[in-house]
């Protein structure tokens, strides 16, 4: 059983650019959540995908968007990058949206210059 993987591990972008981050969920898991963790802070919920549909969203602007694919892998897209978007982006998968145990990926560290 493979764990949750994320790519890339590190990324440097400039203000105004767009970025796509990727997450492969653990085998058999149909629910993926994305979190943003700024330096020194706890992670903040961005949104969740369940069976290819957005199923809950935190307090993030529309320039944060996502996708989930039929194999339940997921992408997080951020448009018009701002300096404050610099953070660690974590994805976590669950077997089903009704279960509580989440398995985290290693994260993608995004730096916006």
Partner 1 sequence: KNEVEQSPQNLTAQEGEFITINCSYSVGISALHWLQQHPGGGIVSLFMLSSGKKKHGRLIATINIQEKHSSLHITASHPRDSAVYICAVSNTDKLIFGTGTRLQVFP
Among 19, 23, 26, 43, binds partner 1 (CB under 8 A): 43
Shortest distance (Å) from residue 112 CB to partner 1:
17
Q: Does 66 bind partner 1 (CB under 8 A)?
A: no
Shortest distance (Å) from residue 11 CB to partner 1:
13
Q: What is the enclosing helix (H) or strand (E) of 74?
A: strand 74-78
CB 6 within 8 A of CB 73: no
Residue whose C-alpha is closest to residue 63's, from 86, 81, 83: 81
Among 42, 53, 59, 70, binds partner 1 (CB under 8 A): 42
């Amino acid at each position: 059983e493979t764990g949750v993987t994320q790519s890339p591990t590190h990324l440097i972008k400039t203000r105004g650019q767009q970025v796509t981050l990727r997450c492969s969920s653990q085998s058999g898991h149909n629910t993926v959540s994305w979190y943003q963790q700024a330096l020194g802070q706890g992670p903040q919920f961005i949104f969740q995908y369940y069976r290819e549909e957005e199923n809950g969203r935190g307090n993030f602007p529309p320039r944060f968007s996502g996708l989930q694919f039929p194999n339940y892998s997921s992408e997080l897209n951020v448009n018009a990058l701002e300096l404050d978007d610099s953070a660690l982006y974590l994805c976590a998968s669950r077997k089903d949206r009704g279960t509580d145990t989440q398995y985290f990926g290693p994260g993608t560290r995004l730096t916006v210059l």
